[in-house]
């Protein structure tokens, strides 16, 4: 638990640019997400054991998962929790942020109704075979020599 708290404190001391690079969101967005999580936490009616991590640490764990897309096993090891706990935490934070409605992208209908002129850039990424010299029995082909002198 101490390691996770140190990690959280270190991230919160970063500059705005470093914070964005580390988590994928600006500190202001992080604060808004944290407020949405706190509002969701107050609204829920759940008994049982409280989570070992604070809401801020849970949010940071989720942002690290989204940003780095590491395996849950690696995240759990870094945060000193079980893999299934990491999975449940990420799902809980995602559901809370979705339920808040503040962090949703506009839907298909909203995009179709706007008068914005969209532009797109297409990149052709078709596979092209590698150009290599043909293998032959000639002594000049280095790949076919059986004896290297």
- What does the longest C-alpha to C-alpha distance in the chain come to? 80
Is the pTM higher than 0.85?
no
**Residue spans per domain, the chain:** 2-107
pLDDT tens, 8-42?
788 888 888 988 888 888 999 999 999 999 888 88
Task: Determine the 3-state secondary structure of 116 from DSSP.
Answer: coil
Label residue 84 by pLDDT band (50, 70, 90): very high
CA-nearest of 56, 60, 51, 12 to 38 is 56
Structure tokens at 56: 């801020």
Region for 12 from its dihedrals, namely left if φ exceeds 0, alpha if ψ lies in -120 to 50, beta otherwise? alpha
pLDDT, position 124? 64
Torsion angle of C-alpha atoms 40, 45, 48, 53, degrees rounded to 10: 10
């Amino acid at each position: 638990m101490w390691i996770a708290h140190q990690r959280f404190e270190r991230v919160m001391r970063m500059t705005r640019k470093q914070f964005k690079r580390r988590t994928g969101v600006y500190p202001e967005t992080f604060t808004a997400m944290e407020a949405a999580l706190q509002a969701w936490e107050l609204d829920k009616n759940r008994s049982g054991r409280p989570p070992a991590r604070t809401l801020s640490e849970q949010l940071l764990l989720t942002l690290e998962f989204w940003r780095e897309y590491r395996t849950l096993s690696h995240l759990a090891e870094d945060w000193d929790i079980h893999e299934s706990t990491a999975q449940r935490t990420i799902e809980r934070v995602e559901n809370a942020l979705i339920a808040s409605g503040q962090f949703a992208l506009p839907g298909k209908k909203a995009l179709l109704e706007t008068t914005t002129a969209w532009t797109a850039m297409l990149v052709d990424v078709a596979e092209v075979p590698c150009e290599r010299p043909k293998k032959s029995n000639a002594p000049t082909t280095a790949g076919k020599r059986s004896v290297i002198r």
